[in-house]
Structure 1
Amino acid sequence: MPLVWIALSAVLISLSRLPLHLGWLVFVGWIPLLHFMDVSKCKLWKAAALFAVIYVGSIFYWIADVTPGGLVGVVVLYFLHYLLVFYLIKRIGDVLPKYRFMGFVAVLLSFEYLQNFGEMRFPWFNNAYSLADYTALIQIADVGGVILISGLILVINVLLYRVIKGHRKLLVLVFILLLAWLAYGYYCLARLPLCTRKADIAVMQPSIPQDEKWDQAFYDFIMKRYDELCARAAKDSTRLLIFPEAAVPDYLMHSQTSMQQIQELTRKYNLEIFTGFPHFIPAPASHVDNVYYYNAAALFKPDGYITSLYYKNILVPIGERMLWLDYFPILWKLQFGQANWEFGKELSWMQSGESTFSPSICYEIAFAGINQRMAIPKDKQTGSYKKSDYLINITNDAWFGTSFGPWLHGVMTKFRAVENRIQIYRSANTGISMIVDPLGRVQSKGEMFAITNITAPLYVSPRIPLYRKIAAYPIAIVFLAFVLSVISILGKKRRKEP
C-alpha cells in the first residue's frame, strides 16, 4: 500500500511535465512522496524502481521507437539516480528530523543542478519545465534560473504538505509566496525594456523525414526543397535564413558539389545562410580513427565569405558519443549506431548585418551555463559583460516522431530566453521551430511536420540579468545537501518531530 504514494507522485509529476496543460500539478506532485518518506517502512529500492518506471517511462517513452533497449537503459540509470536521492532524503529525515524538509529541497535541487555536468549530463527532469505554459511564473528565471523556479516549486510542496498535516497558518505563507512570484512576473511582462530592431531573419523548417535525410537517393529532393524555401524567404525580403542541424546531408566543407549548391543559394537569393552539417578534420596517428568528426555549423554569405565553424560543445550521451572514450579506449569498439563526434571546445559569435549572434546545436539548449556564456559573454580582463543581440539554436528532432519529445525539447527555449533576456531563433527540421522573445513569449512557431519558414521582429533587451552574475549560486545548495547527507549517514536515527 505505501507504494501507492510513490506511484501517485510519479503520475502527478509526469502529467505536469507533458503538454497537457496540467503544469500546476507540479505544486502538489511531491506531496505524496513526502508522506511516504515520513511514514513508510517500505524498501527504498522498490520506491525508486516504481518512480523511475512511471516518471521516466512517461517522459522518455519515445526512445523505444528508436531503441527499446535504450529506454530500458535510461530507466535503469534513473532508478539508480532516484535510489540515491530517496536514500539521502530518507536518511536526513530519520537522523536530522528538524532539517528533513530542508534536506528534501536541497537534495532534489542538487541532483537537478549536477545533471549539467560530466559526460552523462542530461538536465531534462527539472521541475521548472512543468511551468512552461505559465509565462508570468517563468519570468523569475532571470533572477536565479530554472533552479530557483524548481526550488520555489519544492518549497510550496513542503508548505502544502505541512498544511495538510495541521499547520494551516502556513497556507498564508503559500499565498504570499505565489502572490509575490506572480507580481514579479507581471511586472517584468509590463516593464521590461525592449526595443525592436530590423533584422529580416527567418527560420526554415524543411521537414525532411528521418529515413530520407541520410539516404543519398533523396539528396537532390532535399536540395530542391531548400531552394523552394530560400525562394520564399527572398520574396519576404529575408536577409538571414536559418537552416536546421545537419541540414546538408554531406561533408559540406569537403564536397565541391554541396558547397557550390549552398553558395549558389546565397547568391541566387541574396541570402545569408546559417546551416548545420557534419564535418571532419585530420587526426593524429595515435587516434583510433584517422579523422576527428564534428557536428558543425557556419554562416555562409552571398559574397562567398564563410565564418569559422562552430563545433557542438555538448554531445548527447551515447546517442552522439559513447561515454568516457578518452579514459577507456576499448569503448571505441562498442557500436550502438552512435556517431562518436568529438567535443567542440570553443563558443562562436558571428556577425550578420549589424547584429551579433551566437549559435548552439540541438540539446545544448538544455544547458543554462553555456547559453549564458553565449548570450552574455564576460570579459576576462575587465569583468564587464557584453550582450549578443540574439541566439540561434538548430536541431533535428525528426527521430522523436509524433511523440511529446519535440515539445519537451522545444519549451526549454523559453527558459533560456528569459534567463538571458534575449531572443532565440530555433530551427527544428520537422518542428517545433520557434522564435522566442526575451520575455519567453513565442512570437512565431512552425507546427510539427509543416514545410515552412517563420519570421518575427527582433526584440532586444539591454538588461543583464542578475542570474548571469550569480550563476554559480546552486553550488551552495549542493554543499548544504552534502553536509546534511554526511552528517545523517554518520549519525544515528532519531525520533521525528511533527
Structure 2
Amino acid sequence: MILLAKRTSLLRGWRRWLAAFMAGSVGALAMPPFGFLPALVVSLVPAIWLLDGTTGAGASRWAPLKTAAFLGWFWGFGYFVAGLWWLGAAFLVEADQFAWAMPFGVLGLPALLAFFPAFGFALARLLWLPDARRILAFTFALTIAEWLRGHLFTGFPWNSPGMALGQNLWLMQSASLVGLYGLTFLSLCIGAAPAVLLTGRSTRARWTAPALAAAALVGLAGFGFWRVPAEASATVPDVRLRIMQPNLPQDAKFNPRNRDAIMRRYLSLSARPNQNGAAPTHIIWPESAFPFLLHRDAGSLAQIAALLEPGSVLVTGAARMDEPLPGEAVGKFYNAIQVIDDRGTILGSYDKVHLVPFGEFVPKLFDALIRAVGLRQFVHIPGGFEPAESRMALAIPGLPPVAATICYEAIFPGEIVGDGPRPNLILNVTNDAWFGETPGPYQHFAQARLRAVEEGLPLVRAANTGISAVVDPFGRIVERAPLSVETIIDATLPVAEPDSLYSKWGKFSLTVTLVICLMLLVVRRGQHSTFP
C-alpha cells in the first residue's frame, strides 16, 4: 500500500494529469444527490500524493508551483465536469437556438472554475511541509480558493466541498457555527488526512492526523445529535401554507400562447380541497410563474382575487417592469416576488439582487460581442433583468419578516439576510425545470436547506418542477414534494431559532480559523524549507 502513495507521487506527463482529473471526478460523488462521503477521501488523498511529487519539478524555483497549478486545474476540471454536467440540459430546452453552445456550458464553465483549485494547489505547494502539516497547508489554500470562487465575478459557490458534510442532518449542524466555508475547511481536513497513513515516517506520524480527523468527524456528529431536538419545531400560529408545484416543462412555461392554460393550471391546483379542512392563509407559487407581466394584467389579478379566501394572500414569482422613463420604449425589467391580496391588489414586491450571468443578464464586457453574433441570454426579456440595489426583508401579511430569495440566490452563504431587522423565515422561489431530472435540482435544494441551518431560520421553497419543501431551522424536512411531480404541499410554518453563532460572527470565525492555520504553518518553517 505504501507503494501506491509513492507511485502516485512519481507519476509524470499525461499520467499525472489524468490521475488528477480522475481524483477530482470521484469527488463529485460526495455531493448531492449521492452524498457518498468516502468519495471525498478517494478524491483528496491522491491530490496530496500528487502534490508531494511536485518537489524538485524542473530546474526553476517556480517549476513546482507551476506543476502544482496544473495539477489543481486538472483536479478541478474533473471535479466540476463530473459535478456540473447537468448544466447541459438547459441548452436543450430551446435546442434550435442553444444546442450548439452545449459544450461551452458542460466543459467551458468547468474549465474556468478549475482555475480556482489551480490557485489553491499552487498556494498549498508554496506552504508545503514534509510532515502532516501539509494537510493543513492544503486545507488552508483550498478553503481560500473556495471562498474566492464564491465571491469573484459575481460568485458561484456551487458544490463547495463543505457540502459533503452539509447533507447529513447531524453533520450539517456545525454550519450554525461556521457556515459553508467552515464546513469546507473541515471537509478538506477530514478528507485529506488519511494521506499520511501511507507516507508518515513513524507510527505516530502515520496515525495522528487520521485519528484527529476521525475524532473531528465523531465530534461533528455528536454536536449535531446534541443540537437537533427530539421534538418537532413549534409552529407559527394561524399560518397555513400551500405551496403549488405545477411541474410545467420549461419550453411551455415561457410561451405566451400558453398563458391561459398556465393560469388555469395554477388556479386549479391551488384550489384543491385541503384534507385538514382549513383553507390556506398563504398560497405560494414558484419563480417567474407567468409568460406575461402579472401586474399589468387586470384579468389575471381578478382571477387570483377570486381564488383567495378573505384575509389570505398569494405570494408568487413574476417578472415586473418599471414605468418607462421619458424617451424609452420600455421600462426596466426585474425578476420579482409579488404579494397579492384577496382584492387582487399587489401589496409589495421583492426584486432579485443576485442575477445569473448570461441567464438573466449579459455582462457588459460580453454584451456587444453576443449581440454582434445574434445571440441572447436564456430568458426572453428585452435587455435582460436589472438587479435590485439592496436586499430588504419582504413584508407579507400574516407572516413574520421574510428573507426572500429567487432561484440561486439561496446558494450564497451570508447573503440571505439583508438590511433591517432580522427576518424569521427564508422564502425561496425557483424554477429548476431547465435541468430536468438531473442532480442539479437536488444540489440546489441541498444548498438552500443548509442556509436554514446557518441562519437558524425555517425555509419555505416553491419550485416549478421541484424540489418544493418546508424545512425547519435545524434542516429537518417537514414537508417535501418529489421532483417532476405536479402537486401541492399543505404545511404549517416552523418557528425561527434565535440568532445562530454564524449569523452573528460567521465571517469572523472563518478569518480566525485561517489565521490560526497559517500561524501553525509558518512556525519553524525555516527548518523545513524543502520537502524531500
Q: TM-score, normalised by structure 1?
A: 0.86
Q: Any residues of structure 2 matched to 1:124-143 within 5 Å, and which?
A: 124-143=158-177
Q: Any residues of structure 2 matched to 1:53-68 within 5 Å, and which?
A: 53-65=77-89, 66=91, 67-68=101-102
Residue ranges of structure 2 left out of the alignment (5+ in a row):
1-14, 58-63, 92-100
1:89 and 1:302 map into 2 onto residues whose CA distance is 59
Cα offset, 1:471, TM superposition: 2.5
What residue is the counterpart of 1:356 in the other structure?
401
Cα offset, 1:446, TM superposition: 1.1
- Do structure 1's residue 32 and structure 2's residue 56 form an aligned pair? no
1:480 and 1:110 map into 2 onto residues whose CA distance is 14
What residue is the counterpart of 1:333 in the other structure?
371
The 1:110/1:432 distance shift into structure 2, 3 A limit, reads same
1:286 and 1:106 map into 2 onto residues whose CA distance is 54
Cα offset, 1:4, TM superposition: 4.8
What residue is the counterpart of 1:245 in the other structure?
287
- Do structure 1's residue 120 and structure 2's residue 134 form an aligned pair? no
After superposition, give the CA deviation of every residue in 1:93-113 in whole Å (9 maximum; x if it has no partner).
27x989643332122111222
1:78 and 1:35 map into 2 onto residues whose CA distance is 23
Q: Secondary structure at 2:321's aligned position in 1? A: strand
Cα offset, 1:255, TM superposition: 2.5
The 1:471/1:332 distance shift into structure 2, 3 A limit, reads farther
The 1:417/1:233 distance shift into structure 2, 3 A limit, reads farther
1:206 and 1:246 map into 2 onto residues whose CA distance is 12
What residue is the counterpart of 2:387 in the other structure?
343
Q: Any residues of structure 2 matched to 1:82-481 within 5 Å, and which?
A: 82-93=117-128, 100-166=134-200, 167=205, 168-190=207-229, 194-198=233-237, 199-232=239-272, 237-266=279-308, 271-282=312-323, 290-323=330-363, 325=364, 330=368, 333=371, 335-339=375-379, 340-346=384-390, 347-353=392-398, 355-371=400-416, 373-374=417-418, 386-473=421-508, 474-475=510-511
Q: Which amino acid aligns with 1:137?
A: L
The 1:140/1:233 distance shift into structure 2, 3 A limit, reads farther
* Aligned residue pair count: 478
The 1:39/1:307 distance shift into structure 2, 3 A limit, reads same
The 1:106/1:170 distance shift into structure 2, 3 A limit, reads closer
Q: Secondary structure at 1:453's aligned position in 2? A: strand
The 1:263/1:207 distance shift into structure 2, 3 A limit, reads same
Q: Secondary structure at 1:460's aligned position in 2? A: coil
1:400 and 1:114 map into 2 onto residues whose CA distance is 26
Check whether the contact 2:245–2:464 (CA below 8 A) recurs between aligned residues.
Answer: yes
Check whether the contact 1:322–1:338 (CA below 8 A) recurs between aligned residues.
Answer: no
The 1:283/1:370 distance shift into structure 2, 3 A limit, reads farther
2:143 and 2:73 map into 1 onto residues whose CA distance is 20
After superposition, give the CA deviation of every residue in 1:193-251 in whole Å (9 maximum; x if it has no partner).
94222320121101111111111221111111111112116665211011000112211
After superposition, give the CA deviation of every residue in 1:257-287 in whole Å (9 maximum; x if it has no partner).
33333333335x8641100111111455799
1:286 and 1:164 map into 2 onto residues whose CA distance is 71
2:378 and 2:513 map into 1 onto residues whose CA distance is 35
Q: Which amino acid aligns with 2:315?
A: F
Alignment RMSD (CA, Å): 3.2
Q: Which amino acid aligns with 1:394?
A: V
Q: Any residues of structure 2 matched to 1:40-51 within 5 Å, and which?
A: 40=54, 41=57, 43-44=67-68, 46-51=70-75
Check whether the contact 2:135–2:193 (CA below 8 A) recurs between aligned residues.
Answer: no
The 1:27/1:419 distance shift into structure 2, 3 A limit, reads farther
Check whether the contact 1:193–1:463 (CA below 8 A) recurs between aligned residues.
Answer: no
The 1:301/1:357 distance shift into structure 2, 3 A limit, reads same
Residue ranges of structure 1 left out of the alignment (5+ in a row):
380-385
2:212 and 2:231 map into 1 onto residues whose CA distance is 27
The 1:479/1:192 distance shift into structure 2, 3 A limit, reads farther
What residue is the counterpart of 2:34 in the other structure?
20
Point out the more displaced range, 218-227 or 173-182.
173-182
The 1:164/1:113 distance shift into structure 2, 3 A limit, reads same
Check whether the contact 1:112–1:125 (CA below 8 A) recurs between aligned residues.
Answer: no
2:401 and 2:393 map into 1 onto residues whose CA distance is 10
Q: Which amino acid aligns with 1:23?
A: L
Point out the more displaced range, 114-123 or 57-66.
114-123
Check whether the contact 1:423–1:460 (CA below 8 A) recurs between aligned residues.
Answer: yes
Sequence identity (%) = 25
Check whether the contact 2:147–2:181 (CA below 8 A) recurs between aligned residues.
Answer: yes
Q: Secondary structure at 2:177's aligned position in 1? A: helix
After superposition, give the CA deviation of every residue in 1:121-173 in whole Å (9 maximum; x if it has no partner).
11103112123441100001110111111111112234322233232233432
Cα offset, 1:52, TM superposition: 3.8
Cα offset, 1:331, TM superposition: 5.9
After superposition, give the CA deviation of every residue in 1:287-322 in whole Å (9 maximum; x if it has no partner).
9x8521110111111144422211001011221111
Q: Which amino acid aligns with 2:349?
A: L
Check whether the contact 1:435–1:442 (CA below 8 A) recurs between aligned residues.
Answer: yes
The 1:62/1:176 distance shift into structure 2, 3 A limit, reads closer
2:132 and 2:399 map into 1 onto residues whose CA distance is 57
Check whether the contact 1:233–1:453 (CA below 8 A) recurs between aligned residues.
Answer: no
Check whether the contact 2:32–2:446 (CA below 8 A) recurs between aligned residues.
Answer: no
1:463 and 1:21 map into 2 onto residues whose CA distance is 29
